[in-house]
């Protein structure tokens, strides 16, 4: 709740200032100083804001930092804990050169849609980092075999949908709308929507107090592997309409969770993936972004050893980043290596 309040206050400050993503002169000069004195091979001074300490995004952020240190000896790197949607504001205010966010955060910020009070014009994309496929997880005992069944039979579903008003939770609303339903409909059917982090839903599902946990998650999600040991679960597929709506409204991509990805997935599950991406500000110097992009690209093999979630990031997919325009520095690098024309 405290983090959520901080996020709201940051957004209000952004709206009041009318900056829409503009950095003040002091922040701009601070960023310019990270360019290594104009030496294309010189060290950098970079800060990346990501997720909570010890979480996946902190692992991802530290991995990026190591690629910079390996590529540019003498580089100073700082990882700062943050929160998905709020990281956009942190970067726009010049408190970090780069931020780890989900595609919806970048998309909604750039378009000026809720929860952002105004268009954040200077948010820029740098690289695709990893996919977070949408997981509509239900217990085997629930007898639920499809989302259509939940809606048609007016099933009294009790589900964890992630932290309220987070980009991941708001994605769930799009899915229910795609099936002609809503949180309100679920609760009218004697169900209950619980705004819990998905990792905290396991005990409730084990104790038969909840049937489902719903959210985009990194693949494979360790908490689901653990849950299935004591409480058999299944994943529900998304229909074409839901996948299309997630593409249009969230910036997601069609995705297939392959059979065998989890012990409980016996056949391919069509779904959509919300990407985790690296963003920056238009005011960050091109050279800084170019060198950072190059460091990540040149060290993909190393990143694969950092965490299995990096497996979706290849020399082809790294530039397939949605949500906001590419930063010119990243675009220049991708064109040089032939990914973009």
Please, what sign has the CA dihedral across residues 241, 253, 134, 125?
A: negative
Query: Do 139 and 268 fall within a single domain?
Result: yes
**What's the structural domain count of the chain?**
2
Q: Which domain holds residue 122?
A: 2-130+275-336
Closest C-alpha among 100, 101, 96, 80 to residue 45: 96
Tokens of 40: 């294309």
Phi, then psi, of 124 in degrees rounded to 5: -135, 145
pLDDT of res. 42:
84
Phi, then psi, of 323 in degrees rounded to 5: 110, -35
Query: Do 47 and 69 fall within a single domain?
Result: yes
Specify if 169 maps to a domain.
yes
d(CA 127, CA 331): 10
d(CA 213, CA 205): 8
Cα atoms found within 13 Å of the Cα of residue 274, Cβ hemisphere only: 27
Query: Do 157 and 177 fall within a single domain?
Result: yes
| Domain at 171, CATH number | 3.40.190.10
Where is 126: in which H helix or E strand? strand 123-139
Predicted structure pTM score: 0.84
Specify if 341 maps to a domain.
no
d(CA 227, CA 208): 12
d(CA 310, CA 301): 10
Along the 341 residues of the chain, how does pLDDT read in single tens digits?
A: 444 444 444 454 444 343 444 444 344 434 444 444 344 578 999 999 998 888 889 999 999 999 999 999 999 999 999 999 899 999 999 999 999 999 999 999 999 988 899 999 999 999 999 999 999 999 999 999 999 999 999 999 999 999 888 888 999 999 999 999 999 999 999 999 999 988 889 999 999 999 999 999 988 888 999 999 999 999 999 999 999 999 999 889 999 999 999 999 999 999 999 999 999 999 999 999 999 999 999 999 999 999 888 888 999 999 999 899 999 999 999 999 999 98
With residues binned 3-state (H G I as helix, E B as strand, rest as coil), the percentages for the chain, rounded to 5, are: 45, 20, 35
Query: Do 151 and 192 fall within a single domain?
Result: yes
Specify if 301 maps to a domain.
yes
Residue where one domain finishes, among candidates 274, 290, 312: 274
Specify if 146 maps to a domain.
yes
- CB crowding 43-57: b at 16 or more within 10 Å, else e: bbbbbbbbbeeeebb
Residue where one domain finishes, among candidates 224, 258, 274: 274
Query: Do 255 and 147 fall within a single domain?
Result: yes
């Amino acid at each position: 709740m405290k983090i959520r309040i901080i996020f709201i206050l940051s957004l209000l400050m952004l709206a009041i200032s009318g900056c829409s993503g503009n950095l003040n002169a002091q922040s701009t000069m601070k960023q310019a100083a990270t360019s290594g004195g104009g030496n294309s091979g010189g060290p950098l001074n970079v800060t990346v804001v990501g997720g909570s300490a010890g979480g996946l995004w902190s692992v991802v952020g530290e991995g990026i930092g190591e690629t910079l240190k390996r590529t540019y000896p003498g580089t100073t790197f700082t990882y700062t804990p943050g929160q998905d949607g709020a990281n956009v504001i942190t970067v726009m205010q010049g408190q970090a050169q780069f931020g780890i966010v989900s595609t919806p955060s970048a998309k909604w910020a750039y378009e000026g849609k809720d929860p952002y009070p105004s268009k954040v014009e200077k948010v820029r994309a740098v690289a695709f980092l990893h996919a977070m496929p949408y997981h509509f997880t239900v217990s085997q005992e629930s007898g639920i075999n499809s989302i259509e069944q939940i809606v048609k039979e007016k099933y009294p579903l009790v589900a964890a949908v992630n932290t309220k008003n987070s980009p991941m939770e708001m994605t769930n609303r799009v899915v229910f709308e795609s099936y002609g339903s809503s949180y309100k409909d679920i609760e009218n059917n004697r169900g209950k929507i619980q705004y819990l982090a998905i990792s905290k839903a396991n005990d409730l599902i084990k104790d038969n107090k909840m049937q489902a946990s719903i959210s985009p998650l990194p693949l494979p999600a360790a908490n689901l592997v653990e849950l299935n040991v004591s409480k058999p679960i299944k994943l529900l597929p998304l229909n074409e309409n839901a996948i299309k709506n997630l593409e249009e409204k969230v910036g997601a991509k069609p995705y297939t969770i392959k059979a065998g990805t989890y012990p409980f997935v016996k056949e391919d599950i069509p779904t959509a993936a919300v990407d985790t991406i690296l963003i920056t500000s238009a005011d960050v110097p091109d050279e800084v972004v170019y060198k950072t992009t190059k460091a990540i690209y040149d060290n993909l093999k190393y990143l694969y050893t950092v965490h299995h979630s990096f497996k979706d990031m290849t020399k082809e997919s790294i530039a397939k980043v949605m949500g906001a325009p590419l930063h010119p520095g990243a675009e220049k690098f991708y064109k040089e290596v032939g990914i973009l024309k």
